[in-house]
Amino acid sequence: MPKVAVVILNFNGKFFLERFLPNVIAYSSEVAELVIADNASTDDSVSFLQSHYPEIRLIENAGNFGFSTGYNLALKQIEADYYVLLNSDIEVTPHWIEPVIALMESDKQIAACQPKIRSLEQPAFFEYAGAGGGFIDKFGYPFCRGRLFQQVEEDNGQYDDDMEVFWASGACMFVRADLYHQYGGLDDSFFAHMEEIDFCWRMKNQGYKIMYTGKSAVYHIGGGTLPKKSYRKTYLNFRNNLSLLYKNLPQDQLVKIILLRLFLDGVASLKFLFQAGLADFFAVMRAHLHFYRKLPQLRKKRSMIHPQAVSRIYQKNIVFEHFILKKKHYSALKTKDFS
């Protein structure tokens, strides 16, 4: 079996480490190296690890650099064939690693892959962050098999397959180490949120595939970094979504899609305002100002990616399909609309 490193990025997550680390060790240690990368936690995460798990390799980053840079700094110090980026709030299951690695070993064009992600709080249901594999629509709105916006499906075996998807969840993402480093890893400027979508899109622009396998399953709490209702989260989501679109869209779609997305963001900001979400309204405005300010840097990154038309993008507006046409499940979407 190739060399696998399971890497957990931690920031003030002692509670999660106490709860989930024993399980990760029990079901991973025989087939993978386990590494904790700490983003300068101010709780006693580090002392806890040093006293209770001295056998686990600990990488201490000099500051809280967020998800992207935190992982980039740590993974530069880890030699492996495959990295598993694993959130600290995930409960793994027996033999969760082997089926994913077997699938990736079967096809060298697979750059990244995720297992089935269920909710720890409602184990019969999929979890928001990844579910049965990620997609985006042509305007950049992300969704998953098993989760359209807040509508989460019960797992009845409908996604027990192997399937090419558009993005693999950063909550539990297997990635080829050589490709990770060759193409620059996660974008440092994203800090957190949608960095895995950007990475997967960049891999697709290079001709690689992103996969999902239902032969492996993990359970995720979710919301461990930022709560679902958070000004900071709204800002990062809108900011990073514009960045990933600008960096990765094909040239013939760039201007049209960016302008439409800016308009749709404006509509969303007014909805926030009318619903007494003044903080979220200003979060969207701040995200747009950041996008305009960073256009020179985004152009430079785009020139290095060489965007092209890629597969598995939903060619309709998932917001309209879900909220207006009332399509609640992935199965309601037509296969022919995924180009």
Rounded to whole angstroms, how far apart are CA atoms 17 and 300?
A: 39
Per-residue exposure over 69-102, b if at least 16 CB sit within 10 Å of its own CB, e if not: bbbbbbbeebebebbbbbbbbbbbeeebbebbbe
pLDDT of residue 339: 86
Per 3-state DSSP, the chain is made up of helix, strand and coil in percentages (nearest 5) of 40, 20, 35
pLDDT of residue 277: 87
At 47 the three-state DSSP class reads helix
Does the structure show a pLDDT above 80 at 325?
Answer: yes
pLDDT of residue 253: 97
| Residue in the block written with tokens 């900011």 | 239
pLDDT digit string, tens, across residues 259-289: 999 999 999 999 999 998 899 999 999 999 9
Average of per-residue pLDDT across 142-155: 97
Average of per-residue pLDDT across 99-108: 98
CB 68 within 8 A of CB 11: no
Helix (H), strand (E) at residue 44 = none
Does the structure show a pLDDT above 90 at 235?
Answer: yes
pLDDT digit string, tens, across residues 16-73: 999 999 999 999 999 999 999 999 999 999 999 999 999 999 999 999 999 999 999 9
pLDDT digit string, tens, across residues 284-318: 999 999 999 999 999 999 999 999 999 999 999 99
Average of per-residue pLDDT across 212-224: 89
Does the structure show a pLDDT above 50 at 226?
Answer: no
pLDDT of residue 230: 82
| Residue in the block written with tokens 């992982």 | 71
In the chain, the percentage of residues whose pLDDT exceeds 90 is 96
pLDDT of residue 170: 97
- Paired sense of beta strands 151-152 and 147-148, if any: antiparallel
- Counting beta carbons within 10 angstroms of the beta carbon of residue 12, is it exposed (0 to 12), middle (13 to 18) or buried (19 or more)? middle
- Paired sense of beta strands 162-165 and 172-176, if any: unpaired
Rounded to whole angstroms, how far apart are CA atoms 55 and 53?
A: 5
When pLDDT is cut at 50, 70 and 90, the band that residue 222 belongs to is confident
When pLDDT is cut at 50, 70 and 90, the band that residue 228 belongs to is low
